[in-house]
Each structure stands twice: as structure tokens, then as C-alpha cells.
Amino acid sequence: MTTEPEIKYGNNMPWRPNTEPVEDWTKDYDIFDSGYIKDPFPVWDELREECPVAHSERWGGSWMPTRYEDLFKIAQDIQHYSSRNVLVVNFEENPDIEVDPVIAENATAGAPPITSDPPIHTWSRALLLPKFSIKAVNAYEDETRELCNELIDGFMKEGRADVAADYAQQIPPRVIASMLGIPKEETGEFSGWVQGFLEFGLTNADIRSTSAIQIFSYLMDLIQKRQQEPGDDLVSYLINAKVEGAPYPVPTPHVLGTCFLLLVAGIDTTWSSIGSAFWHLAQNPQDRKYLLENPDKIQTAIEEFLRAYSPVTMAREVTEDYEYKGCPMKENDKVLMNFPAANRDPAKFEDPDQVKLDRRVNPHIAFGAGIHRCAGSNLARMEMRVAIQEWLKRIPDFRLEDPEAVTWAGGQVRGPRQCAVVWDA
Amino acid sequence: MKVEVIREKCQGHNRCFVVAPELFELDDEGYAFASGDGIVPPGMEEKARLAAENCPELAIVVTEDVPVASSQ
């Protein structure tokens, strides 16, 4: 059982956490409210209707659009909305946490390109995209299939597994490891670090800092190894890449930041998507049957899982005082990019709360929109597809062990964290 | 019928390519462009429309009536 960490933000932040129950979601929403994390959909419906760009003072203050058209517009407007800080809550570094001087010197570039604005964003993205094309990620498909089957071998006979922790969570770190040229055995701590940074660390600055330092330390060490002895892996590629508009060689802080991004953005996002898809399939036998009988429809189905259970909310910072649809946004205000709510907007999607695996028209923005469209979207799709295909081949019938026992994480990335399923072994 | 990808709008979601690989291609960075001259072969019209409808960036333009044989 995971326990909630103590709320901690540093003593000099100009605000204090407020965990009182929410009375009015339009003026005082709380993205960490446990009921909201479990079932945010009625709140989004209310906000879209009554206050489509809501504001709350909680967690340092933020704006939160919930309509597709607003999310789309704001995502495209890089002039007024910067990506320099994409986390949903800011915090203050704890000066008592020790940082190795090499890390302090190199962990200075953020996590490009996700935290970059043009012009750095432009070359930083060009550097990364060829390695995440459909063709490039499909090179990892066979080993992902093998990995899924190994995981299933581990619990098949027991007739029970936690599909979030024992399956979904295990897949992305090992695929990323393979891309970085790291042995699978070394990935044991990745999920914990990333969860520390993006989940527990959202409400506890010390956990966030400590997790970031662990990730940076591991990666800095890896980069130094690859600088000495380059290989056929993504880290070596970044170190030696010649890309138009980019400095050559790409500065080490940038390489470190991009590797940090690959780890942080590529793990619990995809694990959450896979987990949510299984949470759905466990409760909907007709959808399992549909996928088994229509294997060629898997890609359409993946898009529907992405739409209906979009995991990721990113943040933007307002670059200058700016009024958006009557909302007086101030410089440095945070805007929560609630892409998941946009994807349930009835103005854009017919019957948005119904999961229709054969939905033909589905221009969802689960991966964002505009210049920050998730660079790893093809990798995420491949992992989701393979995870579902391999499981259904071997465990076509399964159900939730106890629907009430499923736990959800949210805030920045929403998905099930404990989701036990059972089947006839 | 003709399809065209507006390069400035495409952000590489790759949805068009997955829906209609016969009509679209991707460059090394994953940005899409119409195959050949963009003329949609007979029978592929529905796929062309579907690709446009699924593009989150509204980057695909479908021109229903293209003068026949103008480019032949």
C-alpha cells in the first residue's frame, strides 16, 4: 500500500498548501483531491459548462481550461504560454539536500525539448524526432513482445496479477533502457525514481529533488561512459549528433537534460495508459471480444483508449500579462493543460464518455498539440498495442478482483497504480 | 479528389499515415506529406476524408473536385 508523503514545498514559497475539501470547483479546484483523481469526469463536465477556464489558488495558483477549443488554442500560442516549467506545481529547492558538483554543473538545461521554447526547442526536437519515428520505434517491437510474454509467464498460472504494478509498470522502463543501451537489470529503480519525481514529488519538494538527483546522477555516469566508449545507442547518438541548427557537439548539459526527459516522460505516462486500458478491458468483456475478433482494429482502439483515458496534464507559464477570454492572466501564472478534459468535450466528440473502440473520427490531443506534441507518441502507441495484444492472446478473459481496491494516481499523470485482476488459470 | 498536408501545421502526430498509408508519407522527423501529386485514387476518397478528420492539427486539406487529367 502506498502512503501519502508529507506535503512539503520549502519555507519561502509565497503560499501554503490547502487540503480542505473543495466546495466550489469553479473557483477552488484541487487537482490532488482523491475523489477527483479517481473520477474527474463530472468535475470536467461542470467546468466546461460553467467556467471553461477556471482558476484556483491552491498549490500556488493556476488556470485550468477544460474545453477542447481552449486547450488547442493555448497549446498553439507559444508566444503567450511558455514551456519553461511544465510541472503542475512549483517548489523551492531544499538547500540542505546535497548535490554532487558535476551534477550541479550539468543539470542546468532543463529537460529539452519539453521545457524549451524556440529557438532551442527547434533544434532540440529535430535532434530527437528521427529516433522516435514509427519505423525507429518498431525496431523495439519484437523485444517488447518478448518482454510482455516473460512478464505474463511470471503470473499466468496464479490466475491473478496486479496489471498496473506487475505488467504495465514493467514495460516502459525496460524499453527505454534498451534504447539507452542499458542492461534490463539496471532498470529496477527507474520507476521508483520517476514516480518520486512526477507523482509523490508533486506534493513533496524533497522527494522531487532527491528523485531528480538520482536520475541525473545515473544518467551523468552513463553519458561519461558513452563519451569514453560510444555505442549504438541513443545516448551515444545524442553525444555525437550533427543536426542543422544545433551546436556541435551538443553540450553535455543538453544531452543530460534530454536523457532526463526520456526517462521522466517515457515511463509513468505510458504505464498509466496501459494500466487504464486494462482497467477498462477488465470490466468490458464485449471490448475484449471485439479486439480478439478484430485484430486489425487495434490501432483505432488504441487511439480511443488514449482519448478516453488520457493520462497527461502538462503546464505552461504565461509570458506576459494577458487576457484570455476574460481571464486576467498575469506574467508567470501557471496554466494547467488539461488535455484529458479536452478529449471528453462533447463539443468535439460524440458521446465523449462512451468508450467506442471503433470510433472513426478521433482527433484527440492526448499527446498535446502544437510544437510540443509528445515526441514519444509512436513509442507509447507501440508499447500499448503490444501489451494489449500479447495479454489478450494468453489471457482473453479476466476481471477486476475488487473494483473498490483499485487505486489511482493523478495531478500530472493519471492512471491506476494498483489494479488487481483475476482469471481462470 | 486531392489531399495536401499544410507543412506549417503538421506536428507529426502520424495519424494520417496510420489511417491512409496509401495517401501519405512521413519524412525522417515524422512530418507528413501527400504521396506523389496528392491525387486520391478512385476508391480511396473515404480514407482521405478520414485522415483529415483525425488530424488533431487540422493540417490536411481535402479538395473534393479536382479537374480530371489536368496533371496527366
Q: Which of B54, B55, B62 to substitute to test the interface with A, most A CBs within 10 Å?
A: B54
**Assigned C-alpha cell, A247:** 551546436
The model carries a pTM of: 0.96
Q: Is B11 in contact with A369 (Cβ distance < 8 A)?
A: yes
Lowest-confidence segment of A42-51, A297-306, B61-70 by average pLDDT: B61-70
Chain A CA closest to residue B9: A370
- What's the pLDDT score for residue A118? 95
Instruction: For A375-408, write each residue's pLDDT tens digit.
Output: 999 999 999 999 999 999 999 999 999 999 999 9
What would the mean pLDDT of A46-60 be, rounded to a whole number?
97
Is A151 in contact with A282 (CB distance < 8 Å)? Answer: no
The yes-or-no verdict on residue A318 having pLDDT over 60 is yes
Half-sphere exposure at residue A42, Cβ-oriented, CA atoms within 13 angstroms: 4
- What's the pLDDT score for residue B71? 47
Helices (H), A284-399: 285-293, 298-308, 339-342, 377-394
Residue A79, classified by CB atoms within 10 Å of its CB into exposed (0-12), middle (13-18) or buried (19+), is exposed
Lowest-confidence segment of A199-213, A311-325, A396-410 by average pLDDT: A199-213
- What's the pLDDT score for residue A12? 73
Lowest-confidence segment of A41-45, A173-177, A303-307 by average pLDDT: A173-177
Percent of chain A with pLDDT over 70: 99
Q: Is B29 in contact with A133 (Cβ distance < 8 A)?
A: yes
- What's the pLDDT score for residue B68? 63
Enumerate residues 214 to 273 of chain A having a beta carbon within 8 A of any beta carbon in chain B: none
- What's the pLDDT score for residue B42? 95
Looking at beta carbons, which residues of chain B come within 8 Å of A349?
Answer: none
Percent of chain A with pLDDT over 90: 87
Distance between CA A318 and CA A78 in Å, rounded?
9
Lowest-confidence segment of A103-112, A190-199, A224-233 by average pLDDT: A190-199
Across A10-14, A92-96, A170-174, A326-330, which has the greatest mean pLDDT?
A326-330
Distance between CA B62 and CA B66 in Å, rounded?
10
Torsion sign over Cα A23, A24, A27, A33: positive
Enumerate residues 117 to 136 of chain A having a beta carbon within 8 A of any beta carbon in chain B: 126, 129-130, 132-134
Looking at beta carbons, which residues of chain B come within 8 Å of A130?
Answer: 28-30
Task: Name which of A41, A63, A43, A67 is nearest A54 in CA terms.
Answer: A63
- What's the pLDDT score for residue A56? 97
Q: Nearest by CB to A360, from B12, B50, B55: name it.
A: B50
- pLDDT by residue for chain B (72 residues), tens only, comes to 999 999 999 999 999 999 999 999 999 999 999 999 999 999 999 999 999 999 999 999 999 988 765 544
In B, what residues contact A, Cβ < 8 A?
11-15, 17-18, 26, 28-30, 50, 53-57
Looking at beta carbons, which residues of chain A come within 8 Å of B10?
Answer: none
Task: Name which of A171, A178, A181, A164 is nearest A150 in CA terms.
Answer: A171
A317-325: Cβ within 8 A, 24+ apart: A317/A81, A317/A82, A317/A83, A317/A84, A317/A85, A318/A80, A318/A81, A318/A82, A319/A79, A319/A80, A319/A81, A319/A82, A320/A80, A322/A80, A324/A53, A324/A63, A324/A74, A324/A80, A325/A52, A325/A53, A325/A70
Whether the upstream peptide bond of residue A119 has omega within 30° of 0, thus cis, is yes
Instruction: For A413-422, write each residue's pLDDT tens digit.
Output: 999 999 999 9
Looking at beta carbons, which residues of chain A come within 8 Å of B52?
Answer: none
Nearest-Cα distance to chain A for B50, in Å, is 7
Report how far Cα A198 is from the mean position of its chain's Cα atoms: 8
Average pLDDT, chain A: 95
Q: Nearest by CB to B11, from A134, A364, A370: name it.
A: A370
Distance between CA A67 and CA A12 in Å, rounded?
34
